[in-house]
Structures are given as structure tokens and as C-alpha cells.
């Protein structure tokens, strides 16, 4: 059986809803241009504040995808 290789891309997904939605948005956007997405890791959670509340959530994720031969 052949040895696979994976590439890792770093993406910031955003959302006004929360952490989970920001991750989902980032993965959905990445899946438009990358194929064979396999896993993700959350690296950082940040966001903007306005009017005493969270204006947006910015979640940095690393996405691993299998390279085709």
C-alpha cells in the first residue's frame, strides 16, 4: 500500500454566531477550492467587540487535506 502525503492550510473562519459556526464557515469556504479535506485543528479564537458585545468570532484553523498523486 502506498504512503499518503497531506498538506496543511491555515484558514480564519468568521461568524457572528460563535466558535462552532466560525469553524464551519472556514471549512465550507476552504472546501470550495481544496479537495480531499480530511481534518482540522483549532489554533486561535479571537474576535472584534462593538457596543459591549461580540461583533464577530474569528477562529484560526489548520486544515489537512490529502495530496493526489
Binding site for its own copies (CB under 8 A): 3-20, 22-32, 37-42, 44-50, 52-54, 56-58, 60, 62-64, 67, 69
Minimum CB separation of residue 66 from its own copies in Å reads 9
Q: Distance between CA atoms of 20 and 25, rounded to whole angstroms?
A: 9
Q: With contact defined as beta carbons under 8 Å apart, do 64 and 38 qualify?
A: yes
Minimum CB separation of residue 51 from its own copies in Å reads 8
| Dihedral angle sign, alpha carbons of residues 20, 26, 32, 36 | negative
Minimum CB separation of residue 34 from its own copies in Å reads 10
Amino acid at each position: 500500500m502506498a504512503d499518503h502525503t497531506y498538506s496543511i492550510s491555515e484558514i480564519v473562519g468568521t461568524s457572528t454566531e460563535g466558535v462552532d459556526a466560525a469553524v464551519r464557515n472556514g471549512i465550507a469556504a476552504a472546501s470550495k477550492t481544496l479537495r480531499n479535506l480530511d481534518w482540522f485543528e483549532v489554533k486561535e479564537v479571537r474576535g472584534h467587540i462593538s457596543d459591549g458585545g461580540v461583533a464577530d468570532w474569528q477562529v484560526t484553523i489548520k486544515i489537512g487535506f490529502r495530496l493526489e498523486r
